[in-house]
């Protein structure tokens, strides 16, 4: 991983933290729950391990870090509670590895572990020796590299993390030093072909390496469910980063940001389409693509869940406008929890409030005029035998 090109989400539990601004991602995790449960149960019932080892890649920090693990454990526990393992008085045992970049706020996750363990205890039946055992630990490091020994993990899960590349793609600057993507921070309809190709090529390299690493680490019969923020085609849908780019461009025209500062900035993110994803999996060859599912969520899909927490003391006149503003602010707040660390490094801390207030307004405008949603691609991969 190139140093300091990818930043973890905003840590802590403050109002602007990822922990407090990730209800959209939580909704996505819950929509993929059935596939995750199906895949993990299949592995468990086929291998029947003494200790089921699970890894969540790009777990971040906050309520979402342990949510997929809870779903998996609940599914296995309820399936097995009446079966032989319980009758043999052998407690179900799990080892869970939460992975993210070393700068991730793992402390916040550890602080929520007592609630997680308590819930698990209440799931057990009979005396305390019957309770399922679960050992949760952190595995800091880039998933674009080896994280575990050979033949070690039974089930990998990852949600909304693999769209992050290992670095900004090469080839975004011409030989004469001119930025090819100078008014944008990501691939948009306006980006020249060289930019689209550079992004896909970086994704292809990174995702191939990701699959190679996981294929060494996974046990034969093991599987993975990966949810990726994708796209319909490489550059034709509105990506939320295009709207961030618009707010940054406004700040350049007003002289708040230097033109060259924006021209030299590109996000290390790529949202592949289903065809591209399938191509990389098939060419790499270690996994069978058992399922590929697609679903959409609107940018403000998690808004209703958050509604009660939003402060309405804003300067707009009627209920309709208040609702529109709050929806825009909801999207802007969760994007800020993701983007602030990387944006601050490039553009400085001083302009952050201004940038995200402008972003709120560009979001409101986009959502009023266009169809704004995230495309989610879910792949269920099974390790090929031999």
Q: Which residues contact 182 (CB under 8 A, 6 or more apart)?
A: 262, 263
Look up residue 128 and give its DSSP letter: G
Q: How crowded is the C-beta side of 92, counted as CA atoms within 13 Å?
A: 28
The residue range among 57-65, 86-94, 311-319, 350-358 that interacts with ligand SAM, by the rule CB under 6 A, is 57-65
| Burial of 254 from C-beta contacts in 10 A (0-12 / 13-18 / 19+) | exposed
Q: How far is the CB of 138 from ligand SAM (least distance, A)?
A: 11
| Cβ neighbours, 10 Å, residue 196 | 17
Structure tokens at 250: 């406004």
Element (H, E) at 246: helix 240-253
User: Which positions from 163 to 182 touch ligand SAM by CB under 6 A, shown as an x/- string?
Assistant: -x-x----------------
Which string of x and - marks every residue 63-92 that binds ligand SAM (by CB under 6 A)? -x----------------------------
- DSSP assignment of 55-85: EEES--SSTTTTHHHHHHHHHHHHHHTTSHH
**Residue 244 near residue 338, CB atoms below 8 Å:** no
Q: Which helix (H) or strand (E) holds 327?
A: helix 319-347
The answer to whether 207 contacts ligand SAM (rule: CB under 6 A) is: no
Mark 28-59 as b/e (b = at least 16 C-beta within 10 Å): bbebbbebbbebbbbbbeeeebeebbbbbbbb
Q: How far is the CB of 113 from ligand SAM (least distance, A)?
A: 17
In the complex, minimum distance from the CB of residue 271 to ligand SAM, in angstroms, rounded to a whole number: 12
Minimum Å gap between C-beta 125 and ligand SAM is 31
* Site membership for ligand SAM, residue 21 (CB under 6 A): no
Binding mask 128-167 for ligand SAM (x = CB under 6 A): --------------xxx--------------xxx--x-x-
Q: Which of 11, 19, 20, 22 binds ligand SAM (CB under 6 A)?
A: 22
Question: Using CB under 6 A as the criterion, what x/- string covers residues 313-352 for binding ligand SAM?
Answer: -------------------------x--------------
Is 273 a binding residue for ligand SAM by CB under 6 A? The answer is: no
- Is 101 a binding residue for ligand SAM by CB under 6 A? The answer is yes
Minimum Å gap between C-beta 272 and ligand SAM is 15
Closest contact distance (angstroms) between CB of 58 and ligand SAM is: 3
Alpha-carbon distances of 53 from 33, 77, 151, 152, 209, rounded to whole Å? 18, 15, 11, 7, 22
Of residues 86 and 339, the one with the C-beta less far from ligand SAM: 339
Binding footprint of ligand SAM on the chain (CB under 6 A): 1, 6, 8-9, 22, 25, 29, 58-60, 64, 99-101, 104, 142-144, 159-161, 164, 166, 338
């Amino acid at each position: 991983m190139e140093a300091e090109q990818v930043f973890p989400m905003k840590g802590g539990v403050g109002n602007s933290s990822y922990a407090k601004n990730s209800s959209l991602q939580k909704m996505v995790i819950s929509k993929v729950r059935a596939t995750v449960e199906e895949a993990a149960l299949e592995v468990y019932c086929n291998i029947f391990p003494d200790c089921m080892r699970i890894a969540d890649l790009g777990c971040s920090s906050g309520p979402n870090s342990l949510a997929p693990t809870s779903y998996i454990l609940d599914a296995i526990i309820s399936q097995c509670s009446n079966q032989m393992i319980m009758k043999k008085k052998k407690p179900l045992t799990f080892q869970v590895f939460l992975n993210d970049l070393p700068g991730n706020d793992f402390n916040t996750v550890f602080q929520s572990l007592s609630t997680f363990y308590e819930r698990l205890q209440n799931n057990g039946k009979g005396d305390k020796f019957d309770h399922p055992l679960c050992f949760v630990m952190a595995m800091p490091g880039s998933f674009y590299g080896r994280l575990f020994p050979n033949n070690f993990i039974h089930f990998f899960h990852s949600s909304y993390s693999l769209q992050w590349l290992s670095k900004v793609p090469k080839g975004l600057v011409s030989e004469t030093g001119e930025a090819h993507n100078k008014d944008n921070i990501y691939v948009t309809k306006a980006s020249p072909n060289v930019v689209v190709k550079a992004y896909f090529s970086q994704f292809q390299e990174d995702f191939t390496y990701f699959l190679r690493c996981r294929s060494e680490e996974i046990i034969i019969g093991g599987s993975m469910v990966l949810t990726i923020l994708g796209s319909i085609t490489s550059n034709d849908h509105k990506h939320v980063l295009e709207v961030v780019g618009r707010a940054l461009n406004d700040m350049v025209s007003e002289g708040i940001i230097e033109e060259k500062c924006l021209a030299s900035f590109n996000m290390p993110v790529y949202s592949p389409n289903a065809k591209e994803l399938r191509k990389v999996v098939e060419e790499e060859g270690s996994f069978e693509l058992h399922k590929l599912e697609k679903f959409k969520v609107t940018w403000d899909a998690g808004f209703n869940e958050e509604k009660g927490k939003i402060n309405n003391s804003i300067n707009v006149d009627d209920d309709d406008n208040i609702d529109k503003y709050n929806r825009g602010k909801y999207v802007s707040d969760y994007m800020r929890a993701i983007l602030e660390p990387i944006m601050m490094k490039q553009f400085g801390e001083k302009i952050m409030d201004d940038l995200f207030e402008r972003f709120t307004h560009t979001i409101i405008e986009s959502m009023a005029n266009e169809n704004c949603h995230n495309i989610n691609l879910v792949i269920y991969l099974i390790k090929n035998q031999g």
